[in-house]
């Protein structure tokens, strides 16, 4: 084989692998918002269903998480989760359908968003010092909600039977941060900056 031909073949062989690195393998079929959008044991990471061991690294009871940003999602819409405690220092989002969650403890969470959709979706909800946002939709969707110690708390009770007893933070002047539906962080003195 002559030298110019051998050089051309060698150059072509080096170019093919380099070019393959520029091909995007992302497919719209694998786009997701939460892990429940994924199948085959895949998890939702950065908007795509991927195969990986990240799920095993999530603290209990997170069904998906981002350890870098300390975000935890607990999705109980596919079955019963029972009582659960959000991991200390995490920003938690808990999604519960009718009858799927027991008591929810957010005492050590950095922040907590709890969505209780349907009758008996959640038991008692307890917040710690972090920000809490609780949404109770349906008859007896939530038990008692305690967020008096929260730096900022919003509780929405869809109707008179949606929540048990609700305790809310107080404003800078000592007035309760409440409205007709539950707790409200909107009034003057209730809009606090959480750490």
Other beta carbons less than 10 A from residue 60's beta carbon: 10
Q: For residues 52 and 128, state if they share a domain.
A: no
Q: For residues 102 and 159, state if they share a domain.
A: yes
Are 113 and 94 a contacting pair, CB within 8 Å? yes
pLDDT of residue 27: 65
Q: For residues 193 and 109, state if they share a domain.
A: yes
Q: For residues 53 and 67, state if they share a domain.
A: no
pLDDT of residue 7: 46
* Burial class for 2, CB neighbours closer than 10 Å (0-12, 13-18, 19+): exposed
Cα dihedral 35, 36, 38, 42 in deg (nearest 10): 50
Q: For residues 45 and 99, state if they share a domain.
A: no
Could you tell me if residue 184 is inside a domain? yes
Split the chain (195 residues) into runs of 10 and give each run's mean pLDDT: 52 47 58 69 63 69 95 89 96 96 97 96 97 96 96 95 96 92 93 88
Range of the domain at 53: 27-57
pLDDT of residue 32: 76
């Amino acid at each position: 084989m002559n030298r110019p031909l051998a050089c051309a073949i060698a150059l072509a062989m080096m170019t093919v692998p380099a070019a393959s690195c520029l091909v995007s393998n992302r497919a719209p079929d694998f786009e997701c918002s939460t892990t429940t959008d994924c199948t085959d044991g895949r998890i939702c990471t950065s908007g795509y269903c991927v195969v990986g061991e990240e799920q095993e690294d999530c603290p209990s009871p997170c069904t998906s998480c981002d350890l870098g940003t300390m975000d935890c999602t607990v999705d109980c819409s596919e079955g019963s989760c029972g009582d659960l405690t959000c991991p200390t220092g995490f920003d938690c989002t808990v999604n519960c359908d009718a009858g799927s969650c027991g008591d929810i403890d957010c005492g050590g969470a950095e922040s907590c968003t709890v969505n209780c959709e349907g009758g008996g979706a959640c038991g008692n909800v307890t917040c710690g010092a972090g920000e809490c946002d609780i949404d109770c939709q349906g008859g007896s969707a939530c038990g008692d909600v305690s967020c008096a110690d929260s730096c900022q708390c919003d509780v929405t009770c869809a109707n008179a039977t949606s929540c048990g007893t609700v305790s809310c933070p107080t404003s800078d002047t000592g007035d309760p941060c409440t409205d007709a539906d539950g707790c409200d962080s909107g009034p003057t003195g209730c809009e606090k900056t959480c750490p």
